[in-house]
Amino acid sequence: MSTLKRVLVGKPLASAEEGHQRLGKLVALAVFASDAISSTAYATEEILHQLVPLDGLEALEFLVPIAIIVVILLAIVITSYRQTIHAYPNGGGSYVVSRENLGVTPSLVAGASLLVDYTLTVAVSVSAGVAAITSAFPELRDSRVGLCLTFIILLTAVNLRGVKESGRLFAVPTYVYVLTLGALLAIGLFRSFTGSLPALAPNEEALAELTHDGALLGGITALALMRAFSSGAVALSGIEAISNGVPAFRKPESRNASTTLVAMGLILATSFFGISVLAERLRPTIEEGGETLLSIMGGAVFGNGSVVYYTLQAATAAILILAANTAFNAFPSLSSILARDGFLPRQLYNRGDRLVYSNGVLLLAGAAALLVVAFGGITTALIPSMRWACSPASPCRRPAWCAITNASGNQRGGATWSSTPPGRRHPSPSSPWWWCPSSPLVPGCRPWSSR
């Protein structure tokens, strides 16, 4: 067993080598920003999934205005985290800021939200990556869950070998995606505005499925626009990871982390807004559980079956799957800080043989795998799942606090309050505290220390 561990994980590293495991800006951008950058592959599509069933392709006129609001919000959040990096160079992000300025209770709300968000990050990123693969190879759609679990296992094995080693491995797919997506936007927008790339013909069959044969058509309401904005705000997921992992950067840590954060923000804003504009110009018909928006537009710009099209799909699948690596770095770091403060088991504070928080890596992998199996590896089903996290289906002693947890810090699920589904009642105070995934971190639930 020991020999197998050495083959998979590698030789133990001395604690003195921790400084040599730190990351430069180029590698750190791939490690910490891949989650945020990868969200451009599905954020625009999620907006359309909220609007198109209600107003058909006419809903595309709302796409660019919503994208502008999301980009403005992104700029505000990037500025905030940039200040956090310089003020709190030891990492911890929102949890540490809340603890130092607001007290224990708000900090635990922030910490619980981030841990749940990182878990969902892995599940959503891997499922979205597999969706890109099955868009190019539809015959693999029945193997969606198995593919998701395989990629989670591979990511776990690589991350157990250490931050620096995983970062070098994952850097190439991140930059290939940025370049191919840039080519899609540059060529697509140029051809669209010069008249050589007309709007796509509507897919009547897909529209009928989305609108339930027209039964859902009723126009866009203010509530629908808010839901669309909430879904589009998935583009902001993962941007806090750099502020959580400042100690992983080479010296000077704060300056390098801040520069990386700004670079990530520019790439994210440009890509997300560009995809939204191109979608508004091409008017593609999205599908429920079928071909992705990027695949449809890539086929229109590059040609279905072309080398560039398959390169785009491969790069999209790679960065979406590897985006989970951001969570594999941020989740163990944050859980170790919470364990140090006595709110999670102390085993999460200990480093493994390769100087990574291996128990945190394994815990994250197991939780994400359960989500993938529960939701069938379908991205659209996973993204809004956090609206129901800690609901009566997963009882804890303070359901109201669980709702706050979901609303306050879960960027991937959008800024949406949790509520009780019709016909269900909140659990009694005697309900088991351990059913709620973030229950050790919210008021009224049992902490892991004896304080």
Q: What is the pLDDT of residue 205?
A: 84
Q: Which two tokens stand for residue 151?
A: 């990629």
Q: Determine the average pLDDT of the residues in 242-251.
A: 81
pLDDT tens-place string over residues 267-311: 999 999 999 999 999 999 888 767 889 999 999 999 988 999 999
Chain segment 166-179, per-residue pLDDT in tens: 566 778 888 999 99
**For the chain, what is the HEC assignment?**
CHHHHHHHHCCCCCHHHHHHHCECHHHHHHHHHHHHHHHHHCHHHHHHHHHHHHHHHHHHHHHHHHHHHHHHHHHHHHHHHHHHHHHCCCCCHHHHHHHHHCCHHHHHHHHHHHHHHHHHHHHHHHHHHHHHHHHHCHHHHHHHHHHHHHHHHHHHHHHCCCHHHHHHHHHHHHHHHHHHHHHHHHHHHHHHHHCCCCCCCCCHHHHHHHCCCCCCCCCCCHHHHHHHHHHHHHHHCCCCHHHHCHHHECCCHHHHHHHHHHHHHHHHHHHHHHHHHHHHHHCCCCCCCCCCHHHHHHHHHHCCCCHHHHHHHHHHHHHHHHCHHHHHHHHHHHHHHHHHCCCCCHHHHCCCCCCCCHHHHHHHHHHHHHHHHHCCCCHHHHHHHHHHCCCCCCCCCCHHHHHHHHHHHCCCCCCCCCCCCCCCCCCCCCCCHHHCCCHHHCCCCCCCCCC
Least confident of 24-33, 119-128, 191-200, 299-308: 24-33
Tell me: pLDDT of 192 over 90.
yes
CA distance 34 to 251: 22
Looking at residue 444, what is its pLDDT? 39
Determine the pLDDT at residue 350: 77
**Overall average pLDDT of the 82-109 stretch:** 86
Q: Please state, for a pLDDT cut of 90, what percent of the chain lies above it.
A: 26
Residue 398: per-residue pLDDT: 31
Whole-Å CA distances, 386 to 41, 194, 229, 343, 371: 20, 42, 16, 22, 11
Is the pTM above the cut of 0.75? Answer: no
Q: According to the model, what pLDDT value does residue 433 have?
A: 31
Q: In 3D, which of 328, 451, 438 has the Cα closest to residue 390?
A: 438
Please report which confidence band the pLDDT of residue 159 belongs to, taking 50, 70 and 90 as the band edges.
Answer: confident
State residue 11's pLDDT score: 56
- Give tens-digit pLDDT for 394-418: 333 233 333 333 333 333 333 333 3
Domains of the chain: 2-388 (1.20.1740.10)
**pLDDT for res 424:** 34
Q: How confident is the model at residue 2 (pLDDT cuts 50, 70, 90)?
A: low
Q: How confident is the model at residue 364 (pLDDT cuts 50, 70, 90)?
A: very high
At which residue do the structure tokens 């809903």 appear? 59
Does position 335 have pLDDT exceeding 60, yes or no?
yes
For 288, the token pair is: 């429920």
